[in-house]
Amino acid sequence: MFKKKVLALTIASLSLIGCSNNNIEIKPEKMAHVGKVTNLSKVTNVILMIGDGMGAPQVGLLEEYARRAKYSTYNNKGNKTALTKLAEAGQVGLSLTAPYGQYGSLVVDSACSATQLATGLAAGSEMIGLDENGNRVQTILEKAKAQGKATGLVSDTRITHATPAAFAAHQAHRSLENEIAEELIESGSVDVLLSGGARHFLPSDIKTDSRAQQLMTDLGATETLYKSSKRKDKRNLIIEAKNQYGYELAFNQQQLGHIEGGKVLGLFANSAMENGIAYSACKKASNCSQPSLREMTLSALEILSQSEKGFFLMIEGGQIDWAGHINDAGWMLHELLKFDEAVNAVYEWVKDRDDTLVVVTADHETGGFGFSYSRKDVPSAKTLTGNGMAGRQYKPNFNFGSLDNLDRLYQQKRTFYDMMSQVSNDNSLSNTKAEQWFEVINQYSDFKVTLAQALSITKREHNEYQQENHTYLSANEFPKVNDFKEFYVYGDDVHGNLIGRALSAEQNVVWGTGTHTASPVPVYVFGPESLAKQFSTMQHHTEIAQKMMKALFDD
């Protein structure tokens, strides 16, 4: 009798259960068979997506572009980003990212942040997969593997770069990318590895060893891919991965598409994969030479979802951060578009499922980016017909930023790095001339610089101008380039930051730094409602890891 009643209830609709007056307890797992259930406390799969450097300001740029740019690439998608679709179907929260613990600090780097997201524990700056005392600790990915789940890491940077590395390697410093490459294939903890970074897997003498080159060609790799190595030894980890550790190899989208399951090492670039601007262009021309972040995501999902015990997958949009570091708003927009495409692939895969938790967040904000209003080019007065104007013209005191700027940012044809290497192909940026920057920037950017602004890009330090005689500047017009110079820490990259400075007023864009800020980052979560809701709060990244682990594991 009792049994019958439970059965009757399990096939009834949820609303009926809510109305029934009996006191029979119904376990959640029984209710799983009743239509769309929303209070599951466990999931089989966790997909974590990290937009590196994608703080709230970056998400704001993507949303403004999608919703309000005249020629938005989202015009045929209801002007809705995948992030917004995820927000509408799930939950949104905020998270603090700083290094926690007794040696904690205020601002986080990607290695520490990814480690905290992977372990739920405080980590030290620039550490990979270690706790704050330097102990190796099991990550969510490793625990998933230990429990028989499939695992995967996908990134559009290098597979050995800090963010993916922190989920499956344990090193005292993020710069140990050769050692990270070894760990990734030797540990057996990752089934699917898709990214760039071949240079850390290839033997040190690949440039001169024609036999090793032929071996790579035979496997389907192009010369661009195996052109150089960063290794100090002659190990070929790609061959080892295939022969000793059972990985299938892929060096292009076609090879990746043919892999049906099992372990996969996909290396699609010698170092970083294609940047977002180049990707937008090759996508438009249908001639991309590498799989996109979206395509890698789809392949990983296809392979990992064959696992009966479920999977853990981390997907990184890693170059949002790089664009932020060099203060390149146009490039950053294209990186956000590339990442959102991957988010859409995940959303489409997961939207009708109740066995998967999706968390999309950033490891930190990069650049201290924002649109800002200025006193430059204040729009002229307009007459409005509204009855509250009382004869007064509409004339705001400042330039609050034209929406046209969104399309113009999208129009940028090269990254600042590309511009820098075009101006100086011999790497001596300190000897460049204003005219060179003037020509290159104005060729590739819809926002233009003057010759005086171009001059401000030629020198890293203000005092370097004193030694030169510039006829078109008076003495007090020497550019004040490095007002925040302690925050521009990457050597010659500062020339790129100075391009950002030169374009900033035209773009209504400001940047606070060439590094990271500690502003809280958005967290988008989709999954069973009772689980997803736990993220809709102000939390810290270690707690995000703990919540994901609690949802994925029984103990």
List all residues 6 or more positions away from 254 whose beta carbon is below 8 Å from its beta carbon: none
Shortest Å distance, C-beta 53 to Zn ion: 6
Nearest residue (CB) to Mg ion, 184 versus 423:
184
Q: What φ, ψ does residue 318 adopt, rounded to 5°?
A: -90, -10
Q: Which of residues 160-199 bind Zn ion (CB under 5 A)?
A: none
Cα–Cα distances (Å) from 161 to 169, 184, 339, 463, in that order, read: 11, 11, 17, 36
Per partner kind, with CB cut-offs from 5 to 8 A, the member of Zn ion, Mg ion, none near residue 163 is: Mg ion
Q: Smallest Cα–Cα separation from 156: which of 300, 273, 294?
A: 273
Shortest Å distance, C-beta 37 to Zn ion: 40
CA atoms of 254 and 101, how far apart (whole Å) = 46
CA atoms of 466 and 485, how far apart (whole Å) = 18
CB-closest chain residue to Zn ion: 321
As annotated, the binding site includes 52, 161, 163, 316, 321, 325, 363-364, 516
Q: Which of residues 408-437 bind Zn ion (CB under 5 A)?
A: none
Coil vs helix vs strand at 121: coil
Shortest Å distance, C-beta 8 to Zn ion: 57
Q: Which of residues 294-353 bind Zn ion (CB under 5 A)?
A: 321
Give the bridge partners for 171, in sequence order.
128
Q: What φ, ψ does residue 181 adopt, rounded to 5°?
A: -60, -45
Q: Is 401 left (phi over 0), alpha (psi -120 to 50) or beta?
A: left
The dihedral of CA 153, 154, 155, 158: what is its sign? positive
Q: What does DSSP assign to residue 130?
A: B
Q: Residue 335: how many CA atoms within 13 Å on its side-chain side?
A: 31
Nearest residue (CB) to Mg ion, 156 versus 446:
156
The site for Mg ion (CB under 5 A) is made up of 52, 110, 163, 318
Counting contacts by CB under 5 A, is residue 274 touching Zn ion?
A: no
Query: CA-based angle 77:153:203, to the nearest 5?
Result: 125
Nearest residue (CB) to Zn ion, 47 versus 323:
323
Shortest Å distance, C-beta 20 to Mg ion: 51
- Residue 307 CB: number of other CB atoms within 10 A? 18
The dihedral of CA 18, 87, 79, 299: what is its sign? negative
As annotated, the binding site for Zn(2+) includes 52, 321, 325, 363-364, 516
Tokens linked to 179: 């050692």
Per partner kind, with CB cut-offs from 5 to 8 A, the member of Mg ion, Zn ion, none near residue 506 is: none
CA atoms of 455 and 469, how far apart (whole Å) = 12
List all residues 6 or more positions away from 271 whose beta carbon is below 8 Å from its beta carbon: 158, 196, 197, 198, 199
Q: Residue 293: how many CA atoms within 13 Å on its side-chain side?
A: 35
Q: Residue 539: how many CA atoms within 13 Å on its side-chain side?
A: 21
Shortest Å distance, C-beta 424 to Mg ion: 27
Tokens linked to 495: 């020339």
Nearest residue (CB) to Mg ion, 166 versus 406:
166
The dihedral of CA 110, 112, 113, 118: what is its sign? positive
To the query of whether residue 402 is one of the catalytic residues in this protein, the response is: no
Nearest residue (CB) to Mg ion, 95 versus 453:
95
Shortest Å distance, C-beta 366 to Zn ion: 5
CA atoms of 506 and 442, how far apart (whole Å) = 13
Q: What does DSSP assign to residue 379?
A: P
Nearest residue (CB) to Mg ion, 85 versus 516:
516
Nearest residue (CB) to Zn ion, 322 versus 438:
322
Shortest Å distance, C-beta 323 to Mg ion: 12
Catalytic residue (choose from 110, 125, 424, 445):
110
Instruction: Indicate which residues carry an active-site annotation.
Output: 110
Residues forming contacts to Zn ion in the complex (CB under 5 A) are: 321
